[in-house]
Amino acid sequence: MFNTQDNVIRIGMFLIGLMLLMYGGMMTFNLEFFFSRYPTINADQTNSFFITWTGINTLAFLAGVYYMGYKGLQQGFFVFMIPLIIGNIIWIYMAMSASGGDNYTGMISQIAALIILLVVRQRAGYKFSYPKAATAWGTDDKTSANLLYLGALLTVIGIVMYFVDPSAVLRDTAGLEVTAQGQHYALGIFVLTPIAILFALAYQWRCGVQGVLLSMGAFWSAIMIAMIFNNLAATAPGTEPNMLLAGFLMVNCIINLTVFFRLQDKF
Amino acid sequence: MIKIQDNVSVTIISLLLLISTFYGFMFVLDPFANSFLERTGQEASATTIEMMGNVGWIYLAMGIGYMMVLIAPTEQSTVFIRFMVIGSFITLIRFIDLYANAEGDVIYGPLIATALVFIGNAYVYNRLKMKVGVFL
């Protein structure tokens, strides 16, 4: 597994996969248990919406672990996951400070995951030098390269839009309410995760696209398209769905899937 | 990454994967399941939601199956696709029976989706030369 004989790497990645599976499964499919473990989080529709979204993201990260289990470790995974987990730790600290919650399980598991990833990265022999690929994104396919530029641009636009109006998504999406906790979840979804995505995109721009990151993107997109259609179908008759958010996500999904299908024969 | 060389088959399998995931999440996640029942005019009891969740997991498992078909050599996927052709055919016959006897306003989405799933599976099955006899 993971194309290595190093048992520390194997055990480390197994534990990372286990944590992602546990949190991804719980946040996507068992919200009641999640809310019971974190009583300071309001069990309302707004929080449920964002926790499910976070769960889907987590399952996509798990897909990356599975991918590397078969194909071998890739540096891009660490370039993405380490900033993401650092962001998560800051996010959890802010959430606990605001709500007074005393369940440290999430915080401890994120710190453990960070340590494991750093150890695995070290043992895999990855240096802090990033050799430049022959072409931008490491591919001659202009369509894919341009779509990746567009993806990076949209990611930046998404972050800027959050800072321009942090409660816009909550206000404009049917069924959601503008709450302090909802806004904090929006910070995680629309700022901290996209920052990690920007790290991953910058890395791929310089060093070439990575199969693990494109596969994670494709996996996420497949689930996200299903969720967008489900959300649109479930919107009560006479209620205006948030077409800006749905459109924004759909464009991202189309970019992810197009790049994946165009470049999949390279990995 | 994708082992199937035929682009049409890859597109159809990807769409089948998407349909399985769509219905899987619709049945597994309670808000979507409730909404689905409301639209179809049925009562959303705890038992119904529980049973829909069970069906939803089967759909999600089928979605994973289609994902495996995409990344495995064609000959390793033959039995799965053959099973899906037969399974979706039986489901289609059952749906036709249900819709033929339905009264009042009915939503034809599930019937059309089931028909498309059967046609898609059968087309891929034929196109990838998995057929061993006249019919299957």
B14: closest chain A residue by CA:
A222
Share the mean pLDDT of chain B: 91
Work out the number of other CB atoms within 10 angstroms of the CB of residue B19: 21
Confidence band of A22 (pLDDT split at 50, 70, 90): very high
Nearest CB to A230: which of B2, B10, B25? Answer: B25
Q: How much is the average pLDDT of A132-151?
A: 96
Within a domain: B35 = yes
Q: Does pLDDT of A37 surpass 70?
A: yes
Within a domain: B133 = no
Work out the number of other CB atoms within 10 angstroms of the CB of residue B84: 24
Based on the structure, what is the number of domains in chain B? 1
Within a domain: B123 = yes
* Chain A CB contacts of B56 below 8 Å: none
Within a domain: B98 = yes
Within a domain: B1 = no
Q: Does pLDDT of B106 surpass 90?
A: no
Q: Do B32 and A230 touch (CB under 8 A)?
A: yes
Cβ-contact A114, A15 below 8 angstroms: no
Q: How much is the average pLDDT of A177-194?
A: 94
Q: Do A226 and B32 touch (CB under 8 A)?
A: no
Within a domain: B134 = no
Confidence band of B96 (pLDDT split at 50, 70, 90): very high
pLDDT in tens, A196-254: 999 999 999 999 999 999 999 999 999 999 999 999 888 877 788 899 999 999 999 99
Question: Using CA atoms, how far apart are residues A224 and A60, in angstroms rounded to an integer?
Answer: 10
pLDDT in tens, A69-93: 999 999 999 999 999 999 999 999 9
How is residue B133 annotated by DSSP?
S
Within a domain: B54 = yes
pLDDT in tens, B43-95: 888 999 999 999 999 999 999 999 999 999 999 999 999 999 999 999 999 99
Nearest CB to B22: which of A211, A229, A265? Answer: A229
- Which of A181, A202, A68, A191 is CA-nearest to residue A137? A202
Question: Using CA atoms, how far apart are residues B94 and B102, in angstroms rounded to an integer?
Answer: 12
Task: Give the structural domain span for B121.
Answer: 7-127
Q: What is the ipTM of this complex?
A: 0.88
Within a domain: B72 = yes
